[in-house]
Structure 1
Amino acid sequence: MVHLSGSNPSADRRSFTRSNELQSRLHDLVPGGAHTYARGADQYPEFMAPILVRGSGARVWDADGNWYVEYGMGLRSVTLGHGYRPVLDAVTAAIADGVSFSRPTELEVLAAQDFLSLVPGADMVKFAKNGSDATTAAVRLARAATGRTVIAMCDQPFFSVDDWFIGTTPMDSGIPPDASAGTMKFRYNDLPSVAAVLDTGAVAAVVMEAATALAEPEPGFLQGVRDLCDRYGTLLIFDEMITGFRWSAGGAQAVYGVRPDLSCWGKAMGNGFPISALAGKREFMELGGLRTEHERVFLLSTTHGPESGSLAAFRAVVHEYTTGDPVARMEHAGQLLADGVNAVAAELGIGDYLQVLGRPSCLIFVTRDADGRPSQGFRTLLLQELLEHGVLGQSFVTSAAHTDADIAHTVGACREAASVYRKAIEQGGVDGLLEGRPVAPALRRHSAPRRIDPT
């Protein structure tokens, strides 16, 4: 095992005592015990959800002094590494002159220019603080531009915290039924399903990720969607929250060569600093401005959207992407990791049950039970054993900061974890091996099966 300053207090079993105390306190203070559902304790093995205190590069430390190689990296928002000095230096210099003002700053001009230089499919951009605001603004803009109300949404995991999307999920409590009644779904890589939705004639926009970790567009699919949108007078909106700065600096639209009408950005734009963006064609974006003869659209208007710290972080990120190749480093680390872990699984005879799949810069692990079915219990067992051996993450999403040593440590941890996983396969389940209850889907109707009794 690799040891660093502040290394693990025990080579055998880790202590999570302080983390558990803090997590319990969080449940008293914050609904769900976290400010993001994906960060919740129910997404990790029970009583093994580390509360973090610092990070550096691809490693993090928790309140008990344990260190981990981290994956997912801030829900995919950190591509250059924790505490990346050039970004921190840019932010420090900017905020020393003030953070928020009552008029636009020159920094807003420079940041907009930087963004538009990277994204050839965009004429204008507006910055905000979170991805949901950008995506919902795009939906509002499409409805205003077309005079229609229906949104055709790809059958993909997540687009917004707002009613038009959350109303389609199991966590629809508190949302009027009509709020999501105008949201229809189509299937990825299935042009007939797109055409069937658009043929209703009421669709304002098609909202989709151009690609995901496990789904690359089949030849002609994205262009086919573009052609269908043009035929029906529907706006095409690409969600670039994950693909932006991970597929390329110009997003999926730059990789696949299909230009959307609007695109929504966030996550890795600021290497963890809060910033998002709505970008698109001038003819549509101007509907939210002062140079239109049409009724104006309330597009985005946020107090903190143009604050100087995040804009400076974004400009520093752009510099790193234009002078170096962070995506190549992410893909190098990811390919090493996928090859290493899949080789371990094959060697132990569990390659059909435990697999690492996806684009090298956006990997996930697949966990199946003894019958070959996706299993939350087996997923939790893997997470448990990885935590015990110094690896933290709900996925294997890498960053440019992941070194060959980080990958070697992770493959070694996976070897230890896979040995336990094989025992579970051989005995037909995780009983006696898994401590506590399995993880549960983040978006579910009830708190069970990970309900916590009030103290």
Structure 2
Amino acid sequence: MDNEEFSLPRSRAANERLHAMIPGGAHTYAKGDDQYPENLAPVISHGRGAHVWDVDGNRYIEYGSGLRSVSLGHAHPRVTEAVRKEIDRGSNFVRPSIVEADAAERFLATVPTAEMVKFAKNGSDATTAAVRLARAVTGRQRVAICGDHPFFSVDDWFIGTTPMSAGIPESTNALTVAFPYGDLAATDDLLTRYRDEVACLILEPAAHAEPPPGYLAGLRELAHRHGCVLVFDEMITGFRWSEAGAQGLYGVTPDLSTFGKALGNGFAVSALAGRREVMERGGLRHAEERVFLLSTTHGAETHSLAAAMAVQTVYVEEGITARLHALGEQLAAGVRDAAASMGVGDHVVVRGRASNLVFATLDGNGQPSQEYRTLFLRRLLAGGVLAPSFVVSSALDDADIERTVDVVAQACAVYRKALDAGDPTPWLAGRPVKPVFRPLA
């Protein structure tokens, strides 16, 4: 691919088709073409392993696959074989399939801190079910979210806290409050201020930094002392941190937790798991008021559950979590060296756990810059690297990492020129990329 002449005419036309029929041109805002340089948003034809091909015929090394969901690589043979076998047996029935029992047993064996599980299709269903369950169990209405984490659900209790809160009643927004990650004293103050009003604390147990020593255990003690339900959102940390999630890695058991993304390797499956006495409130074997927990027509599609079982088998048998960390460490070291060698080590910054790397693009004053991100992404795309993040899949190999680092070095050379000029605009060739959460298009 020629860096100066790189263009995507077929993808551009396909994006126009998408926008004509689909609000936003994609079914996930994070996949929108506004997240990419102008006219350089590839539309994907197919993928295999760590590579994807766009409709223009270009091949890319892909990072952040499926918004972190395809952690084994595209069309993983053990997963697709499990799905193929199950599809021929039917996918949805008027009564539970025996596959639902098999999948639940497999999940609870993999995540032994949980005692019951219920499957759904997406993360928002699971996190909102956790919130509803916590409200029912505690008799309280307020939800406390960790304000340092970017996303929990498409549902009103969370989206009302973002800049895209149009359509959500203020009365709903008032029921969600925020606490800072890593600060037990501030959280204690919040729960004291709203004494006996907060149903749950919901957070990602870890994100771009390790939890401070004792923090998660302290948060659990704090939640229980104030009569709250502790919910871990393990959509990202599940499997990428360990097969048993961050709760397994750090040895702190929440009341409820939610899983998705890596669980299906691209197939639609999520899970709400937790303590029996809490989860059973959504069941039939208790004497309390019933909770309409999760009831989804497609929540237990057999082929998606077969995919989830295969994913768990592959993770355990092939040591996938360790491989993700090793690949991430290799990539992070290479990118940091490349950035430093081009004199932009303080401006192109790799952050996060090795299995979940992101990058920051900073301007001459060390501030986050969408313009410099645009410049960087343009050069990566032209070099055959599709990387909204540096989140690895286990399908990457040494050659992929080496190629990525070479392309990053070329991008950093241009980045240095822009910094020296004091203005990245000549290298953007259009509008800058935009943040997902903004009030106006």
User: TM-score band (shorter)?
Assistant: over 0.9
For 1:418 and 1:349, locate their aligned partners in 2 and report how far apart those are by CA, in whole Å. 8
Which one-letter code corresponds to 2:108 in the other structure? L
Residue in structure 2 matching 1:188, options 181, 187, 191: 181
- What residue number does 1:406 align with? 400
Contact 1:370 1:429 in 2 (8 A): no
Aligned to 1:80: 72
* Alignment of structure 1 residues 238-387 onto 2, 5 Å: 238-387=232-381
Across the two proteins, how many residue pairs are aligned to each other? Answer: 438
CA drift at 1:187: 0.3
**1:25 matched residue in structure 2:** 17
Matched ranges for 1:101-116 at <5 A:
101-116=93-108
Between 174-183 and 267-276, report the one with greater CA deviation.
174-183
In the TM superposition, what is the alpha-carbon distance from 1:12 to its structure 2 partner? 5.9
Q: Which residue of 2 aligns with 1:453?
A: none
Offset, 1:15 = 3.0
* Cα displacement (A) at 1:406: 0.5
| Structure 2 Cα separation of the partners of residues 13 and 128 of structure 1 | 45
Given residue 99 of structure 1, which amino acid in structure 2 is its aligned partner? S
The equivalent residue for 1:230 is 224
In the alignment, what sits opposite 1:450?
none
Asked if 2 retains the 8 angstrom alpha-carbon contact of 1:337 and 1:411, the reply is: yes
Could you tell me how far apart the structure 2 residues matched to 1:12 and 1:369 are? 23
- CA distance in structure 1 between the partners assigned to 2:59 and 2:429 by the alignment: 21
Which amino acid in the other structure matches residue 250 of structure 2? Y
Q: Report the 3-state secondary structure (helix = DSSP H, G, I; strand = E; otherwise coil) of the residue aligned with 2:404.
A: helix
Alpha-carbon contact 1:90-1:312 (below 8 Å) kept: yes
Q: Work out the CA distance in 2 between the residues paired with 1:428 and 1:330.
A: 37
Question: For structure 1, which runs of at least 5 residues remain unmatched after alignment?
Answer: 1-7, 448-455
For residues 156-171 of structure 1, the aligned pairs below 5 Å read 156-171=149-164
| Distance in 2 of aligned mates of 1:254 and 1:283 | 20
Contact 2:124 2:154 in 1 (8 A): yes
CA distance in 2 between counterparts of 1:335 and 1:322 reads: 20
Q: Matched residues in 2 for 1:296 and 1:350: separation?
A: 58
TM-aligned CA deviation for residue 215 of structure 1: 2.0
Deviation at 1:233, TM superposition (A): 1.1
Match in the other structure for 1:206: 201
- Checking the alignment, whether the CA contact within 8 Å between 2:113 and 2:253 is kept in structure 1 is yes
Matches of 1:223 and 1:123, distance apart in 2? 19
* TM-score normalised by structure 2 residue count: 0.98
Query: Does 1:53 find its partner at 2:48?
Result: no
- 1:287-336 per-residue CA deviation (whole Å, 9 max, x = no partner) reads 01110100000000000000111000001001101211111111111111
TM-superposed CA distance for 1:194, in Å, is 1.1
Structure 1 residues 349 and 11: CA distance shift in structure 2, 3 A: closer
Runs of 4+ in 1 over 6 A off after TM superposition: none
TM-score by length of 1: 0.95
Show structure 2 runs of 5+ residues with no match: none
Partners of 1:424 and 1:247 lie apart in 2 by: 37
1:176 counterpart residue number:
169
Given that 2:332 and 2:354 are in contact with CA atoms closer than 8 Å, whether structure 1 keeps it comes out as yes
Amino acid in the other structure paired with 1:166: I
Spell out, residue by residue over 1:231-288, the C-alpha distance to the aligned partner (whole angstroms, 9 max, x if none): 1111000000000011011100001110000001111100000000100000011101
Aligned equivalent of 2:84, options 92, 97, 100: 92
Q: CA deviation at 1:11?
A: 7.5
- Structure 1 or 2: larger helix share? 2
* Whole-angstrom distance in 2 between the partners of 1:416 and 1:279: 45
Q: Counterparts of 1:118-133 in structure 2 under 5 Å?
A: 118-133=110-125
Q: Say what the alpha-carbon RMSD is for the aligned residues.
A: 0.9
CA distance in 2, matches of 1:371, 1:194: 33
